[in-house]
Homo-oligomer: A and B are copies of this chain.
């Protein structure tokens, strides 16, 4: 069977609390006693019961990461970085997929499971602005993304508007004037789609151009299929365009596939810029120019903020926007 503090204590001839003190590096333990206890721990291969420790101390050493879908490369790479950042702090990560479903996201915020973890990193995609009060929960929480802001809740975000404006300006600077947007969500204001559209619009207006509605390629989901579909519709509509700014890399790759399949050359006929700097864009054909939103910095900052929040619930709220950059490759 599995050894407990009591078993170790019996073998070492001390009280079980002394063993606990050794395990927790309590200073006032005589070196000889400590050595005897450590020896017994080795002999019995003792390992603390984390459920008991968690019950008693209220800390589990587990963070929860809630995101839409792990199969989306952006989130897979984000989760990768979050797990690494957590591990550097001795924490492990439990992952929940919400499938961009509002109900699942709402339920998550009041789930019993939440009380088993020390904190939650939450990247919502389904929550609506009117749900904002739901994020006032007892569990330490750091929000990721742009969907929901609450002045009293820690937040880490990328600079969507600024980065999208920079990407569009980058295309304008290369002489492109008919820039299509792929991934448009009509009417959306606060989500990634809304914000990136705003950056796109600001850049165009800054160059004295108006947004041409015919160049807005709607794509509800940001998967490859939708990117390809949006590009195909743009082509079929007959409207002229010489560049595509896609709201993420996955859309961009889908769009690029459709463009190439229809005989358009990238970047000669149509330049393509993505968003996210996921691995898949590095070796696509052609390699994808994209916005690096600072994913690694987001993960690191998010975990850091959450750990701070766990340590001190009354610390001032931290809301951070991470720096971005444009990664130039072959598609422009």
Task: Check if B77 sits within 8 Å of A71, measured CB to CB.
Answer: yes
Pair B47/A51 contact, Cβ less than 8 Å: no
Residues of B within 8 A of A280 (CB): 73, 253, 280
Instruction: List the B residue with the shortest CB-CB distance to A256.
Output: B285
Known A-B contacts A48-B112, A94-B93; A253 and B70 likewise in contact (beta carbons under 8 Å): no
- A95-B83, A95-B95, A287-B257 in contact; A113/B70 too (CB < 8 A)? no
Nearest B residue to A228 via CB reads: B283
Q: How many whole Å from A29's CB to the nearest CB in chain B?
A: 21
Kindly state whether residue A50 has any CB partner on chain B within 8 Å: yes
**Given that A47-B112, A283-B253, A285-B285 are contacting pairs, would A79 and B83 also be in contact in the complex, using a CB cutoff of 8 Å?**
no
Closest partner residue, chain B, to A79 (CB atom): B70
Q: Closest chain B residue to A138 by CB distance?
A: B2
| Residue among B60, B69, B93, B112 making CB contact with A95, cutoff 8 Å | B93
Cα–Cα distance between A223 and B283 once the two chains are bound (Å): 10
Task: Please tell me if A284 contacts chain B, counting CB pairs below 8 Å.
Answer: yes
A20 CB-CB contact with B under 8 Å = no
Bound complex: CA A223 to CA B71 (Å): 17
What is the number of residues of chain A that contact chain B, defined by CB distance less than 8 Å?
54
Residues from chain B with Cβ under 8 Å of A70 in the complex: 70, 76-77, 79-80, 83
Query: Within A83-135, which residues are at the interface with B (CB < 8 Å)?
Result: 83-84, 87, 92-97, 110, 112-113, 115-116
- Does A260 interact with chain B (Cβ within 8 Å)? yes
Is A50 in contact with B257, judged by CB distance below 8 angstroms?
no
Chain A, 255-278, CB within 8 A of any chain B CB: 256-257, 260-261
Most buried by B among A84, A95, A96: A95
**Contact at A94–B62, with CB atoms within 8 Å?**
yes
Other than the given A76-B76, A225-B282, 20 more pairs (CB < 8 A) read A48-B112, A49-B55, A49-B115, A50-B115, A51-B51, A51-B115, A70-B70, A70-B77, A70-B80, A71-B76, A80-B97, A83-B97, A87-B97, A224-B279, A224-B283, A225-B283, A254-B283, A284-B284, A284-B285, A285-B285
